[in-house]
Amino acid sequence: MSLENKVFVVTGAGGGIGSELAYALLQRGAKVVAVDLNEENLKLFEKQINSENLKIVALDITDKNAVDKLPAKVKETFDTVEGLINCAGIIQPFVKVNDLKIDSVDKVMKVNFYGTLYMTKAFLPKLLERPEAHLVNVSSMGGFLPVPGQSIYGASKAAVKLLTEGLYSELKDTNVHVSIVFPGATKTNITTNSGVTAPASAGDMDSSNFPMLSAEEAANIILNGIEKKKYQIFTGKDSKFMNILYRLSPKFATNFIANKMKSLLN
């Protein structure tokens, strides 16, 4: 799918991979609606980019009523929408499920799963009207492989994975392409944005085995995958490697990660 002159809605565009996706889309000739909860970050991004092809919208994706009104708001600037990239996401506090407060569980599920679902439901009818369109949901390496201290985050991303795979099955005979993204370790501000303090050992696996990707590198891998209409998009050697290892031996892969990351909970 050519990105030039296409209109893409990108959530989580206030920072990290989301903002890099928005920037890279503009660089490739697309038009972008950048959506994020943090209006200050969006305005700073808008000032830095200074493009008539960019529209920013401060929005809480867990607010279904607000999300339902977003397509009409987009239409005020752009007549059509050909792409939706659900990139917004947060992590949980680094604690075991037994010690995790239900409020934290609700927050993670609302942002990561329901936010993705609300955006998909709001824009899918618009995508189906276009001659060609693309729906992209960002899951995580943690969506197919458990990480200690991030079990609920992983569950939310696993839900995104299965939702997206189901959408692919339902839409494969339509004009809407569907991709699921599995980012590996990426240098972003997700920990800060989630209001979580990460243990110093959180990066142990990343630094000792695989180099962390920059958000810019991850964004360009994702866009290259969209252009090639890839079903699954893995960003980072760690994500690719662990996907293979998990498929070969789920128990071994689970123990490998548990041993590597056990200091997260110490």
What integer pLDDT is reported at residue 199 of this predicted model?
A: 61
Give residue-wise pLDDT tens across range 33-59. Answer: 999 999 999 999 999 999 999 999 999
Coil vs helix vs strand at 134: strand
pTM tops 0.85:
yes
Lowest mean pLDDT among 145-154, 210-219, 223-232: 210-219
Q: What per-residue confidence (pLDDT) applies to 192?
A: 62
- Give the dihedral of Cα atoms 227, 231, 233, 237; nearest 10 deg: -130
Structural domains of the chain in order of their starting residue, each with its CATH number: 7-265 (3.40.50.720)
pLDDT of residue 48: 95
Q: Compute the half-sphere exposure of residue 153: CA atoms within 13 Å on the CB side of its CA.
A: 23
Check whether 100 has a pLDDT greater than 50.
yes
Please give the residue that has the higher pLDDT: either 68 or 187.
68
Kindly indicate the confidence band of residue 208, based on its pLDDT and cuts at 50, 70 and 90. Answer: very low
* 52-87 pLDDT, tens digit each: 999 999 999 999 999 999 999 999 999 999 999 999
Q: Let me know: does 232 contact 179? Beta carbons within 8 Å.
A: yes
pLDDT tens digit string along 138-154? 999 999 999 999 999 99
Pairing type for strands 186-187 and 176-183 reads unpaired
Cα–Cα distances (Å) from 200 to 121, 133, 205, 207, in that order, read: 39, 42, 12, 12
What is the layout of strands, in order, in the sheet containing 83-86?
Answer: 54-58, 31-36, 7-11, 83-86, 133-138, 176-183, 232-235
User: Quick check: 161 and 143 in contact, CB under 8 A?
Assistant: yes
CA separation for the pair 31, 27 (Å, rounded): 9
d(CA 228, CA 160): 21
Residues 163-191 have a mean pLDDT of 93
The catalytic site residues sit at 153
